[in-house]
């Protein structure tokens, strides 16, 4: 009887062992060689060995150093016209911040061209957010006329002094609540002053371009500070601020309003007095380029964080380099008394400066804020910033310096302290690339 091949295989138990034996030895040698190669770093960190044209090299590192500094610049452009902020806020680390604003007032209706007598004048504004509102504290709102024309194309800086020319009074603030209109009675002569030449009300643009160019608003606190923010975006149904003049002509009563509409140009001014901070907590190094163990990020255009990454220069201008990942891990300082986790700002942004010192959002932020990230991760006690497009642009010569800045949006009210430089942990850059 003839046996099949499979039957012979099953009957001869020595056959598989004898056949595989000659294979095992070379396989074992290959395995030893592979294990031996694992004693070296399988991910190439340096760039001293470049592949040939037919190969792809993938490299990564998380050891690129980041030098972090606390910086301040009072010549930062005031560019957020959607928010109007007035008041002050105190922080044991950062001291006192003062905010005031200048805004256009717009004519809402045609002047009826009649004789009139002013009966009363009301200032109305809508707080979108109120910080530090102590019902026992006393606050005053201060109004002045500004003599400088403000336009969309004019640069105004956060530390720029307003050009005030006419004092319009100082009035006690009522108790304020976010989302509820605040109404303050002004002197009648303010209405008479605004309507002293009614020919300037037509055309409407003439009023804010030639006649009454801006209203300066500040808030003074006698005891505890208060910060008031108004929403001037076109997403709200109620204008943030306006002055209404009530008058009569003969026996008939009328009113006429001048309003800071979303179309009205405004800018905010911010000044910072760090000397009022607690002596044991106040920031020591600002603009002195000292590598401190902590760096500070402040709301309302205060101090910001500058991050230098000089090690990236060695990768610059390499042909055929594609950045796969570049993200900054930024560990924060937390404590229950001053910086609890619940007060951490929800969003931090990243910008850079060109050779002329002008600020630009990093390309990753231009793509999409979610792409840039900038969120806090409680499991890491850190913020994460994706700067992949920025690093690619720098390595390709499109951006001058390997340096970025962290800053808070105007909507933020809380400050942040980061662990930096020789601290542990500290800022680090996770960097992965492909050479092809």
Summarize pLDDT for 117-151 with one digit per residue, the tens. 999 999 999 999 999 877 789 999 999 999 999 99
Q: What is the pLDDT of residues 181-204, one digit of tens each?
A: 999 999 999 999 999 999 999 999
Cα–Cα distance measured from residue 176 to residue 180, given in angstroms and rounded to the nearest whole number:
8
353 forms beta bridges with: 359
Q: Which domain holds residue 101?
A: 83-273
Distance CA 436, CA 425 (A): 34
Q: How far apart are CA 284 and CA 303, in angstroms?
A: 12
**Cα(300)–Cα(345) distance, rounded to whole angstroms?**
13
Co-location of 62 and 136 in the same domain? no
pLDDT at residue 5 tops 70: no
Task: Give yes or no for residue 113 having a pLDDT over 90.
Answer: no
Q: Report the distance separating Cα 188 and Cα 119, nearest Å.
A: 7
SS3 406: strand
Choice among 39-43, 252-256, 430-434 with the minimum mean pLDDT: 39-43
Residue 90 has which token pair? 């105190």
Encoding tokens for residue 403? 């340096």
Q: How is residue 320 written in tokens?
A: 């055929």
* Co-location of 144 and 238 in the same domain: yes
For residue 45 the two structure tokens come to 């960190």
- Position 82 scores a pLDDT of 92
**Domain final residue, candidates 246, 273, 300:** 273
If asked whether residues 101 and 234 sit together in one domain, one would say: yes
Report how far residue 428's alpha carbon sits from residue 331's, in angstroms, rounded to the nearest whole number: 9
Q: Please check whether residues 248 and 356 belong to one and the same domain.
A: no
Domain assignment present for residue 22? The answer is no
- The Cβ of residue 179 has, within 10 Å, a number of other Cβ atoms equal to 10
Helix intervals (H) in 103-228: 188-194, 204-206
Averaged pLDDT for residues 345-369: 93
Query: How many Cα atoms sit within 13 Å of 180 on the Cβ side?
Result: 5
Predicted confidence at residue 368, as pLDDT, reads 86
Residues 328 and 247 placed together within one structural domain of the fold = no
User: Residues 269, 327: one domain?
Assistant: no
- pLDDT digits 0-9 by tens, 202-226: 999 999 999 999 999 999 998 899 9
Does one domain contain both 114 and 252? yes
Assess if residue 39 is contained within a domain. no
Mean pLDDT, range 54-81, rounded to an integer:
83
Q: Give the tokens for residue 93.
A: 């680390």
Q: What pLDDT does 279 receive? A: 95
Quote the radius of gyration of the chain (alpha carbons, Å): 32
pLDDT, one tens digit per residue, over 83-96 is: 999 999 999 999 99
Give the pairing type, strands 95-103 and 83-91: antiparallel
Residue 1 is assigned to a structural domain of this protein? no
* 387 in Cβ contact with 404 (< 8 Å): yes
- Does the pLDDT at position 23 exceed 70? no
pLDDT of residue 54: 52
Which neighbouring-strand residues pair with 129?
229
Pair (169, 249) in one structural domain: yes
Name the residue among 360, 401, 400, 366 with its Cα closest to residue 386: 366
Residue 283 banded pLDDT, cuts 50, 70, 90: very high
Does any domain span residue 11?
Answer: no
Asked if the model's pLDDT at residue 18 lies above 60, the reply is: no
Same domain, 264 and 293: no
Helix (H, G, I), strand (E, B) or coil at 313: helix
Question: Do the bridges between strand 182-186 and strand 117-125 make them parallel or antiparallel, or are there none, so unpaired?
Answer: antiparallel
Rounded distance between C-alpha atoms, residue 35 and residue 29, angstroms: 10
Number of structural domains, the chain?
2
Are 68 and 87 in the same domain? no
Residue 423 confidence (pLDDT): 96
* Average confidence score pLDDT of the chain: 88
Q: Which pLDDT does position 55 carry in this prediction?
A: 56
Does residue 44 belong to any structural domain of this protein? Answer: no
Residue 177 shares a structural domain with residue 147? yes
For residue 132, what pLDDT is reported? 84
What are the tokens at 371? 């792409």
Instruction: Check: CB of residue 119 under 8 Å from CB of residue 254.
Output: no
- What local confidence, expressed as pLDDT, does residue 1 receive? 40
The pLDDT of residue 136 is: 83
The answer to whether position 45 is within a domain reads no
* CATH number assigned to the domain comprising residue 428: 2.60.120
Look at residues 223, 238, 273 and tell me which one is the last residue of a structural domain: 273
**Does residue 40 form part of some domain?**
no
In 3D space, the residue among 108, 104, 111 whose CA is nearest the CA of residue 197 turns out to be 111
Least confident residue range of 41-45, 46-50, 350-354, 372-376 = 41-45
């Amino acid at each position: 009887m003839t046996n099949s091949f499979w039957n012979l295989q099953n009957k001869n138990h020595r056959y598989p062992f004898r056949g595989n034996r000659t294979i095992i030895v070379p396989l074992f040698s290959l395995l030893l060689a592979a294990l031996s190669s694992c004693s070296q770093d399988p991910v190439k960190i340096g760039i001293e060995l470049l592949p040939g044209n037919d190969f792809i090299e993938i490299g990564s590192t998380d050891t690129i150093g980041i030098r972090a500094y606390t910086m301040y610049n009072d010549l930062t452009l005031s560019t957020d016209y959607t928010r109007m902020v007035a008041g002050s806020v105190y922080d044991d680390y950062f001291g006192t911040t003062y905010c005031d604003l200048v805004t256009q007032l717009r004519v809402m209706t045609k002047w009826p061209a009649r004789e009139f007598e002013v009966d009363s004048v009301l200032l109305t504004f809508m707080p979108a957010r109120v910080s530090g509102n102590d019902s026992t504290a006393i606050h005053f709102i201060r109004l002045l006329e500004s003599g400088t024309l403000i336009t969309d194309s004019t640069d105004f800086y956060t530390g720029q002094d307003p050009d005030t020319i006419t004092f319009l009074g100082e009035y006690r603030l009522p108790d304020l609540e976010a989302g509820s209109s605040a109404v303050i009675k002004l002197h009648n002569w303010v209405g008479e002053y605004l309507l002293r030449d009614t020919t300037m009300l037509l055309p409407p643009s003439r009023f804010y371009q030639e006649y009454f160019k801006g209203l300066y608003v500040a808030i003074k606190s006698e005891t505890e500070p208060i910060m008031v923010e108004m929403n001037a975006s076109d997403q709200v149904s109620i204008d943030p601020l306006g002055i209404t003049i009530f008058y009569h002509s003969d026996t008939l009563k009328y009113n006429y309003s001048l309003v800071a509409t979303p179309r009205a140009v405004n800018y905010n001014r911010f000044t910072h007095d760090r000397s009022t901070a607690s002596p044991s907590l106040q920031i020591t190094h600002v603009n002195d380029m000292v590598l401190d163990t902590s760096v500070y990020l402040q709301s309302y255009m205060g101090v910001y964080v500058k991050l230098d990454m000089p090690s990236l220069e060695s990768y610059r201008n390499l042909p055929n380099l594609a950045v796969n990942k570049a993200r900054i891990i930024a560990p924060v300082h937390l404590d229950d008394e001053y910086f609890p986790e619940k007060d951490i700002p929800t969003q931090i942004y990243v910008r850079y400066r060109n050779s002329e010192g002008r600020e630009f959002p990093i390309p990753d932020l231009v793509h999409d804020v979610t792409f840039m990230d900038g969120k806090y991760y409680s499991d890491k006690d850190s913020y994460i910033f994706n700067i992949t497009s920025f690093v690619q642009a720098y390595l390709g010569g499109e951006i001058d310096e390997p340096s970025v800045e962290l800053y808070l949006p105007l909507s933020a009210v809380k400050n942040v302290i980061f662990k930096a430089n020789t601290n542990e942990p500290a800022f680090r850059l996770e960097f992965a690339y492909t050479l092809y």
